[in-house]
Structure 1
């Protein structure tokens, strides 16, 4: 049975939608800007930063971390489905941690979707711009990082049995690390 919609719960849900949208749009903007900068400044010029981190431009037809390079159209469809699912489910999110996690996932998926739709070789088959390289890891981009961080937060919230539609905290409108890790109530 669903809880009644009080003005406070409606307001909390609307705030979480804004958190989700804000996280998604911020992740998307940062990703698109970073890829544009990499495409403009890095062709043919890898740059070593620190401790094995390099900037090295590559075009990736696959998924995150260059997985599945022969399935570009499938990843395009999956990204659209993920974003649509998050947009549809956003109306139920009342927990800020879940809003942030889903926003990061949507923003990361949207960042790579923009490349697949608008970059060469063709619409729906575009190659994603990757430019971050660690000596021990495949080349990736910020969208990949946002996706992984969003999934990690979602897994932590799930492990803590934090429901997506959890009631807002009576301690205010803040998410504490203890809410995710279980430290506040001593468990």
Structure 2
């Protein structure tokens, strides 16, 4: 009716609805508001991972395997050639001086190991030699050191040399007697393969004292890398929790 007063508490419909997109509940395009950004942790993939500096490159490993094989062939050939010469030159069984009487040439056929140990268990000596060959091949899979390649090559060639005698020398069939001809002051008689074995053992002891592993890394470097890796894994959960809290605050 004309002159009727409108209640001041009743909002005007024309002005009560806020403009679109101003109240934060609606957007100009009638799309729901974007969800708050949540912090996510990036998990590094194999592609992101940096190459391990402690692992030798494929090219270096091939060179080390070639060096190991070359040393093994040298050790084997020198052992077999000197045994053949001894069989020919010392066939009469008479000792001959080499460095006075300290080191002499004297031919014997040894059914056992060094110092004639295990003379009555030739098959056991053969089995041990085969086990040594398997162990050398297994250890060489992680090869990353030139010195270790030389040591393992000497062991491999020497073990193959004495193992050859077990099968080609009488009585054969894995029970053959090893040709020994180097008499060390009458303490024991050995051969060139024994020299390579002792040299390889001395080199391995030296490498162990220096803390150099088969992969070429020093023990202190391995421990430092392990400590750094453990610290990285310990810090990762803390970073994830902080990122999650930040995401929750923004939500």
Scaled by the length of structure 1, the TM-score of the pair is 0.82
Q: Give the unaligned 5+ runs of structure 1.
A: 168-187
Change (3 A) 1:101 1:8: closer
SS for the counterpart of 1:57 is strand
Q: Which residue of 1 aligns with 2:64?
A: 16
1:122 and 2:172 are equivalent in the alignment: yes
Deviation at 1:6, TM superposition (A): 10
Higher relative contact order (CA 8 A, sep 6+): 1
TM alignment of 1:1-187, pairs within 5 A: 4=52, 9-44=57-92, 45-51=94-100, 52-166=102-216
Contact 1:66 1:140 in 2 (8 A): no
Q: Which residue of 2 aligns with 1:171?
A: none
Q: Distance in 2 between matches of 1:110 and 1:68?
A: 19
Contact 2:55 2:144 in 1 (8 A): no
Deviation at 1:91, TM superposition (A): 2.5
Q: Distance in 2 between matches of 1:155 and 1:128?
A: 26
SS for the counterpart of 1:164 is coil
Question: RMSD in angstroms over aligned alpha carbons?
Answer: 2.1
SS for the counterpart of 1:29 is helix
Deviation per CA, 1:85-130, whole angstroms, max 9, x where unpaired?
2123322111011111111111111110000111101211000000
SS for the counterpart of 2:182 is strand
8-17 or 120-129: bigger deviation: 8-17
Deviation at 1:160, TM superposition (A): 0.9
Q: Give the unaligned 5+ runs of structure 2.
A: 1-50, 218-251
Report the count of equivalent residues: 166
Q: Distance in 1 between matches of 2:56 and 2:125?
A: 39
SS for the counterpart of 1:49 is strand
